[in-house]
Structure 1
Amino acid sequence: MLNLTLNRPSGSNRLNGAARSLGASLLALSALTTGAVAHAAPTAPADSALVARGAYLAKAGDCVACHTAPRGVPFAGGLKMVTPMGAIYTTNITPDPDTGIGGYTEAEFAGALRAGVAKDGHRLYPAMPYPSYAKLRDDDVKALYAYFMHGVEPVKQANRPSDIPWPLNMRWPLALWNAVFLDTTPYADKPARDAMWNRGAYLVQGLGHCGSCHTPRGVGFQEKALDEGGAAFLSGAAIDDWFASNLTGEHNTGLGRWSDAEVAQFLKTGANRHATAFGSMVGVINHSTQALTDDDLAAISRYLKSLPAAGGTGAPPYRYDPKATQAALVRPANDSGAKVYNAYCLHCHGADGRGYAPLLAPIAGNPNVLEADAASLINVTLNGSESLVIGGVPSAYPMPAFANALNDRQIADVLTFMRAGWNNGAPAVQAADVAKLRKATAATR
């Protein structure tokens, strides 16, 4: 069973130099928690409405995803993230004054969040997307600060130093990186656009930091574009052992065939008639986007659907063809891909490749099946996916792992069969690529 959709890399294998959540932004706070810094805990009484608003914003930013280790205490940090220079570990962002951020003033919190500068003045690794959080407005930063200081329980848990070796762990070059790539101007509404579009743009570009995974990176590990003004913005990106999907209007691998309502449905429930969430996008749905208001989901959808087509393969718009389906099903009995599909995939994804959406994802026309880069297909076939939990109810049909059931050749053959069948017309998958990804992801199994 292959649940295919827009995906993000797993939290532990995050984007080579960019983490995926507002929590990741607070990865900046890796500097935060050295016991040597002076404690300047907030003294003003908590405003319950402000704290509640901050809690909502923290949900929207999915802070908990990056700042919670497996089986760890929420927001206490410790999640390993792999970068090209070595592993870093997310930090304790609870208000504990010794090991967390309890000693941070609001201005210091804002400096770490939006400018990549820690309390003691050292620069933060751009593994946290502070170029995105630089767009946050002062009132939202204030609300987030109120929540983390007054709405989160303090946890005394020391931070783990990074595994980045000397001299790569020196921080002074980050000042140069910031000078070249960081724009600290908060988001300003576009007068030519309506309030809904601007709200969606603000959430996508800033708090949601969608580009940190879905926008390709340049030689300096910077996002090639931070808003719709750049051609590469949200056009899809290879990230470690995944391919973060195209979110532009591209008709095959992007959102060109999705309606505004279908985008909102996916963010709310993790599934629609086109695809089902897998990989760490499941965590985004479970912990973040399903909690957004309908108005915010509609705003995000409006903004994403306004983006012009970018990226993709250049193939003609996908059209489902029943004849192609029948041709795929009558392949010779010695066709390995067809045999594997019939044995392991057909009962969930159907003889016609359309699955039982939104319960079970389609193969026919699925954006991730049509994508030239097959990393996400290979990864989810090998390793499966966590279960969506919507409204407290777990999905009955999460994607299982086949790493132990199928060898590299069998997985390559069945994915090639899927990518060729039902008029999908996507490139073949090679066994060598499966073997490479099997080795790379072995530690996650």
Structure 2
Amino acid sequence: MNKLNFKSLLLANAVLLASGFAVQAHAEDETQLIKQGEYLSRLGDCMACHSVAGKPDYAGGLAIESNLGTIFSTNITPDKQHGIGNYTEQQFSDAVRKGILPDGSRLYPAMPYPDYARISDADMHALYVYFMKGVKPGAEQPPETKLSFPFSQRWGMRFWNWAFTSDKPFQPIDGASEEVNRGAYIVEGLGHCGSCHTPRGFGMNEKALDSRDDQFLAGGSLNNWDVPSLRGLPRWSEQEIVDYLQTGRNDKAAVGGEMKSVIEHSSSHMTDADLKAIAAYLKFIGGNPPLQAYNVQAQQATEARLTTAKNLTEGERLYLDNCGACHFVTGKGAAGIFPELDQATLVNAKDPTGLIHTILVGAQQPSTEKAPSKLAMPGFGNRLSDDEVAKLATFVRQGWSNKAPAVSKEQVAEVRKSFEH
């Protein structure tokens, strides 16, 4: 072999070797992007809305009840016929950030694109790679959303978007720590916490999209359940916020309602660092005083009446017969197991729907990695009449330090009717 041929062979081998390294590096980069995108999809809680039990993940079909009617989530698997397999990255970004589909039609803001607008370009790229290459295609056609006129006219969302959304990227909070700003990025963007915890305006829009407005995270209403304010969470420590988001329970409360799905599919999968960042951010923004002053005398008076068990009202008797074994005469429950009733947000909510619903049908905490046990509260709807539930709920709302309005049997009947039909 002459020198020229030998050098050519060496050069060819070097090129092949370099190409091999490049292919391997590309594959490693893609694997990392898929892993990152999967985690970001958990931050965005995409699984909860776009998945239905018994169907492929992300194949859509979840019925989302709204004031406009029932909206069905779409198939966001890479299936080319029923999903998003033909989307370019720009089209994917426009759908997620702007609510605009490739054909120009508009999504309803049940898809929280007003919040997702803050997702960074890098995170959007990782999400696109994950959904295109890390999710299995699902050949499922979800039911079509059919709202009544005029809400059926999706073109009108163009004007809604103009009035109520913003295309500004995430803006870090001046003077805040890196941890607080990480929490802000999650809560204001992918976490879309404001879509439930911020009050809605006349156009059913979030009244604020970030913490620069005091209305942001100041509480709202979802399907007649009062949604609590998250500003400062004065009764909870940062660690209690982390515990709640990670396990669905802490020393004061246990998850209920729509938040159960959020913890099950999203926050329980977050890293400790991100959960601590969220807690730090919620404490940083502050803004709300405690629910009410803790009244030692009132608490002790209720505890004494329940302990002596003499001359009880019907509400007090119903409490001892049905609730006392877990929540005790103190109303304090058991830390990390049974939630407190004294000063609880659900108990003191202006609208008692959430409490009534919980008494009637019960509740179950989700199973998470750090709290796998599924602790459950039974429902009492089959053994208690509407009048009995009303008296029980009224006692709970007015016992110990609680000072919420009474509940009527008509309110109970309305809640019972809502899930029996």
- In 2: Cα distance, 1:50 partner to 1:338 partner: 57
Are 1:349 and 2:327 counterparts?
yes
What residue is the counterpart of 1:35 in the other structure?
Answer: none
Higher relative contact order, structure no. (Cα contacts within 8 Å, ≥ 6 residues apart): 1
The question of 1:218 aligning with 2:196 is answered: no
Aligned residue number for residue 96 of structure 1: 79
Kindly name which structure, 1 or 2, has the bigger radius of gyration based on alpha carbons. Answer: 2
The partner residue of 1:375 within 350, 353, 361 is 353
Q: Aligned in 2, Cα 1:399/1:73: closer, same or farther, shift over 3 Å?
A: farther
Among 385, 406, 412, the alignment partner of 2:384 is: 406
- In the alignment, the residues of structure 1 paired with residue 78 and residue 275 of structure 2 have an alpha-carbon distance, to the nearest angstrom, of 30
Q: Structure 1 residue 83: deviation in Å?
A: 2.0
Choose 188-197 or 258-267, whichever is displaced more. Answer: 188-197
Partner of 2:147: 164
Shift in alpha-carbon separation, 1:307–1:375, aligned structure 2, 3 A = farther
C-alpha deviation, 1:134, in angstroms: 0.5
Cα distance change, pair 276–387 in 1 and its aligned pair in 2 (3 A): closer
- Residue ranges of structure 1 left out of the alignment (5+ in a row): 1-43, 250-254
Give the 3 Å change call, closer, same or farther, for CA 78–421 of structure 1 in structure 2. Answer: same
CA shift for structure 1 position 187:
0.2
Q: Secondary structure at the match of 2:38?
A: helix
Structure 2's unaligned 5+ residue stretches are 1-25
* TM-aligned CA deviation for residue 328 of structure 1: 4.3
Q: Which residue of 1 aligns with 2:213?
A: 230
Question: Is 285-294 or 112-121 further displaced after alignment?
Answer: 285-294
Amino acid corresponding to residue 343 of structure 1 in structure 2: D
Partners of 1:242 and 1:379 within 8 A in 2: no
TM-score under structure 1 length normalisation: 0.84
Counterpart secondary structure, 1:87: strand
Q: Cα offset for 1:331?
A: 6.4
Among 83, 87, 91, the alignment partner of 2:70 is: 87
**Percent of pairs with identical residues:** 41
Partner of 2:408: 430
**CA offset at residue 117 of structure 1?**
0.5
Question: How many equivalent pairs are there?
Answer: 393
1:263–1:301: 8 Å Cα contact kept in structure 2?
yes
Code of the aligned partner of 2:347: V
Map residues 15-164 of structure 1 onto 2, 5 A cutoff: 47-164=30-147
Deviates more, 1:155-164 or 1:194-203: 155-164
Instruction: Report the secondary structure of 2:412's partner residue.
Output: helix
Partner of 1:397: 375
**Paired position in structure 2 for 1:308:** 286
Distance 1:337 1:395 in 2: 31
Say if 2:347 and 2:397, in contact at 8 Å, map to a contact too: yes
Query: Against the structure 1 CA distance between its residues 241 and 71, is the aligned structure 2 distance closer, same or farther, given a 3 Å change threshold?
Result: farther
Counterpart for residue 318 of structure 1: 294
Give the match for residue 13 of structure 1: none
Aligned AA (2:188): Q
CA contact 2:302–2:400 (8 Å) conserved in 1: yes
Q: State the alpha-carbon separation in 2 of the partners of residues 413 and 72 from structure 1.
A: 42
SS at match of 2:154: coil
Mean Cα deviation higher: 155-164 or 317-326: 317-326
Give the counterpart of 1:240 among 223, 248, 251: 223
Deviates more, 1:417-426 or 1:146-155: 417-426
Residue identity opposite 1:94 in structure 2: T
Q: Deviations over 1:354-388 (max 9, x none)?
A: 11111111111222222222221112222222332
Deviations 1:271-297 (A, max 9, x none): 111101112212211221111111101
Q: Partner of 1:180 in structure 2?
A: 163
Which structure dedicates a bigger proportion of its chain to helix?
A: 2
Shift of 1:260: 1.0
Aligned to 1:28: none
User: RMSD of the TM alignment (CA)?
Assistant: 2.0
* TM-score (norm: length of structure 2): 0.89
